[in-house]
Amino acid sequence: MVNDELIWERLARGTRSRSRLSYARIVKAAMRIADREGLEAISMRRIASQLNAGTMSLYRYVATRDQLLDLLLDEAYGEITVPARPSPDWRKDLRGLACQTRTVLKRHSWLGPLLSSRPTLGPNYLHWFEFALSSTAATGLHMKMRLRIVGTINAWVSGVVGYELGEAETNRRHNLTEKRKRELVAPYLDRILATGQYPQLAEFVRHGSGEVTDEDFEFGLDCLIAGLSLQVTR
């Protein structure tokens, strides 16, 4: 039978047990596994082995793997530094939150996919979301527009991080460096650039780089916020 109970309801009731286990220890063990090997490697048996505990004892705390993933997602969001209250400048607040969120998404490569597949109702995520919406409250805009502002910035963050993590995974899997990638494609690029049909590509090859830097991310973020600010003033 499917267990539809939210883990947050289970946490509110508390768990009575004499074992050395705790929600914190279970989630930390799951996060260590996920960071090293991905979400697919997480199982109750694997976590129990790491904690030197019986597998069944974990179910006194977490009834299903999905509940464990919910806890894992919220634990990661707890690593994002969220100010106690918004400042008078929503642009500054959302910019800082975006940079913090990018850092945590890059730290835990499994977090992005988990966000799109699990409900986000944990206290850390809700605190993050409440702050994001509170930052825009002083604009006087209706909730739908404020959600668009927050959602647009989040889309930029997740898009850039997705590209960064994809590149990193490809490089890791094939043991590639930027120099080695250029060496591999150089013969082909030399042939097509010699045709003279791609002058902009030729300039990019001479001066550009495919790696995303902090400056690249923040440039795009600042442009995005400037555009959103213009919409707000209208």
Which residues 6+ apart lie within 8 Å of 186 measured at CB? none
Torsion sign across C-alpha atoms 185, 188, 194, 199: negative
Q: Where are the domains of the chain?
A: 7-77, 90-233
| pLDDT for the residue numbered 17 | 57
pLDDT tens-digit readout, 170-218 = 877 778 777 787 788 889 989 999 999 999 989 888 887 667 899 999 9
| pLDDT for the residue numbered 197 | 94
Query: Residue 12 to residues 21, 75, 79, 121, 126: CA-CA distances in angstroms?
Result: 17, 16, 22, 13, 16
Q: Which CATH number does the domain 90-233 belong to among 1.10.357.10, 3.30.460.30, 3.90.1150.10, 3.40.50.2000?
A: 1.10.357.10
Question: Which two structure tokens, joined as six digits, stand for 206?
Answer: 């001479």
| H helix count then E strand count, the chain | 12, 0
* Cβ count near 112 (within 10 Å): 15
pLDDT tens per residue, the chain (234 residues)?
345 678 888 787 766 555 678 999 999 999 999 999 999 999 999 999 999 998 998 988 998 999 999 999 999 999 999 999 999 999 999 999 999 999 999 999 999 999 988 889 999 999 999 999 999 998 999 999 999 999 999 999 999 999 999 888 787 777 877 778 778 888 998 999 999 999 998 988 888 766 789 999 999 999 999 999 998 887
| pLDDT for the residue numbered 2 | 42
Q: Is 64 left (phi over 0), alpha (psi -120 to 50) or beta?
A: beta
Query: Domain 7-77 - what CATH class?
Result: mainly alpha
Q: pTM, whole model, 2 decimals?
A: 0.86
In angstroms, how far is the first alpha carbon of the chain from the final one?
53
